[in-house]
A and B are shown apart, each in its own frame.
Chain A
């Protein structure tokens, strides 16, 4: 069990670190486009659209990493005063709300992507790239969050069952 949990941590940690470099790609592509347009007077048809696709994947795949590192902002005015066990119990209760949202995103984001894949959807722009790869990142992003959320839920249950020490502050 512990090994599965740390494997999920490892996945979201590393994936986030790799994805975070996407900002350099976004930056590079935009500068390239501005340079080509103004200095060489030959704008590309693909740079801005490719930037947009990278951005889409970059943000939607960030959810799991953020959950791992505690990066989603929350209000801890009451929560921070609870004992570790009470925190675990509260987390188990509120996880139902978390799962409602993420499962919805997985299912309906997934059907959006499958529908796009089913007709090999392209963007219909001058460049006309396929859209389904980016659309598929929505259910994938939801899946990453769900994995991390499930790991968190299991840890909370183990704490409540007295089988695990409450978590020490997360690594950054």
Chain B
């Protein structure tokens, strides 16, 4: 069979079985096994088994359950309540201030943990009822939680970046450093959008009434809320960027920080630890089993000689190197609507990386663009994970359609951020070049 036809049949089969509801890990693994059998033959299965073994032996991957565990603990540790109290007092008097404060808390959460869900759940439980009580527009409120929460994977640490590092062979530290400036930039753009929107349409996010604002003493006292999170951030990023520990060890420092935060807030119970452990186990297992399937996929993809085909095809995209880059981002954006970001990364990074490198682009910069795009994928309908996290905790008066509509302006803002980092690569590459 022609390689063109074979590749088309391969991808169609993947898509078909995926739409029939089989989990992604088994779709990737199973369909690839069938195609591998007919291309490289069964002896290539040894290679797949060896790669599975290889994945179990990558020390960097051990950081994934730790960062997830840390997020699961922090989600319930009471840190978010204190932070919200602080933001309420300081930003509440501004128009749209509670929503801006929510984005700020999400950014702080993002600097503490490497996944997207923790901030969404925390803020959905704490900030949303408060914003609705003070007559904030529900779409403005829902959207800022969705968008803010997705910062989790862009501001380091980041589980998605660890996966990218494993696939691309780039350093985790460089990627983490690369995410800092774009992450802060997007948090700023989101706040700017909320601020401007509420300046023009004050009814969307009214300033707190005078009697609800705290006095200066209460405001100053509330600042102590930032101490614990700051400590956790220093423990994780400081120990890693300072070269004291490996990313994996710094993740364990983060868990320690999260546990201490829980102790300080008197929230740490055995029941909480057990539940956090179970949720961590399930999420880690899900990611790792997709990776096992993705090894099969990657072997089958190379086995049929598809990388050359894809590179040839990409040559037909108008606009040269930049045309390809924009095309790739568009593909990732569309995939983000339907698939899990970890899955997208494991499927497409091996396909796109050779193309990106052939065009002479910096793989670290591409990794940051990829991550921003996946961040958008967490919030775009119909299948962004944040949408479902949020739906699980909002009051019944809020429908899924409300949540879907709420993300539209925020998605545009984040796309703007993506565009800026594309146009000015220094945003992503400056900090890594200073540190490493």
Which residues of A pack against B, CB within 8 Å? 16-17, 19-24, 26-27, 30-31, 33-34, 38, 48, 51-52, 55-56, 58-60, 62-63, 65-67, 69, 71-80, 87, 90-91, 93-94, 96-102, 104-105, 107-109, 111-112, 134-135, 138
Give Cα A61 to B61, complex, Å.
16
Tell me whether B282 and A97 are in contact (CB under 8 A): no
Tell me whether A73 and B281 are in contact (CB under 8 A): no
Residues of B within 8 A of A48 (CB): 59
Tell me whether A105 and B26 are in contact (CB under 8 A): no
Contact of A20 among B52, B256, B281 (CB under 8 A): B281
Give Cα A101 to B255, complex, Å.
35
Tell me whether A71 and B285 are in contact (CB under 8 A): yes
B56, B59, B280 interface centre (most CB from chain A within 10 Å): B56
Q: Closest Cβ of chain A: how far from B107's Cβ, in Å? A: 26
Across the interface, name the chain A residue whose C-beta is closest to B252.
A30
Give Cα A100 to B283, complex, Å.
24
Can you list 14 residue pairs at the A/B interface with Cβ under 8 Å? A16-B278, A17-B278, A38-B244, A52-B57, A52-B62, A59-B288, A60-B56, A66-B285, A66-B289, A67-B23, A75-B338, A78-B21, A87-B21, A135-B53
Q: Apart from A78-B19, A94-B21, A105-B52, what are 20 other A-B pairs with CB-CB below 8 Å?
A: A16-B282, A20-B277, A30-B66, A30-B251, A52-B57, A56-B53, A59-B288, A62-B281, A62-B285, A65-B281, A71-B282, A72-B24, A87-B21, A91-B21, A94-B17, A100-B29, A101-B29, A109-B52, A111-B46, A112-B46
Q: Kindly identify, within residues 295 to 352 of chain B, every residue whose CB is under 8 Å from any CB belonging to chain A.
A: 296, 338-340, 343
Tell me whether B45 and A98 are in contact (CB under 8 A): no
Residues of A within 8 A of B23 (CB): 67, 72-74
Residues of A within 8 A of B26 (CB): 72, 97-98, 101-102
Residues of B within 8 A of A100 (CB): 29-30, 33-34
With A31-B256, A98-B26: A138-B49 Cβ-Cβ less than 8 Å? yes
Residues of B within 8 A of A109 (CB): 49, 52-53
Q: Kindly identify, within residues 262 to 292 of chain B, every residue whose CB is under 8 Å from any CB belonging to chain A.
A: 273-274, 277-278, 280-286, 288-290, 292
Tell me whether B49 and A34 are in contact (CB under 8 A): no
Q: Closest Cβ of chain A: how far from B353's Cβ, in Å? A: 23
Q: Closest Cβ of chain B: how far from A171's Cβ, in Å? A: 13
Across the interface, name the chain A residue whose C-beta is closest to B285.
A62
Residues of A within 8 A of B292 (CB): 60, 105
With A23-B281, A27-B252: A108-B49 Cβ-Cβ less than 8 Å? yes
Across the interface, name the chain B residue whose C-beta is closest to A29.
B252
Do most interface residues of chain A lie in helix, strand or loop, or is the interface mixed? helix
A66, A93, A135 interface centre (most CB from chain B within 10 Å): A66
Across the interface, name the chain A residue whose C-beta is closest to B283.
A71
Tell me whether A58 and B53 are in contact (CB under 8 A): no
The answer, yes or no, to whether B249 is at the interface (CB within 8 Å) is yes
The answer, yes or no, to whether B195 is at the interface (CB within 8 Å) is no
Give Cα A84 to B200, complex, Å.
50
Tell me whether B289 and A63 are in contact (CB under 8 A): yes
Give Cα A60 to B277, complex, Å.
16
Give Cα A17 to B27, complex, Å.
26
Across the interface, name the chain B residue whose C-beta is closest to A135.
B53
Contact with A along B18-58 (1 / 0, CB 8 A): 11111111110111111000000000011011101101110
B55, B292, B296 interface centre (most CB from chain A within 10 Å): B292
Contact of B62 among A38, A55, A63, A138 (CB under 8 A): A55
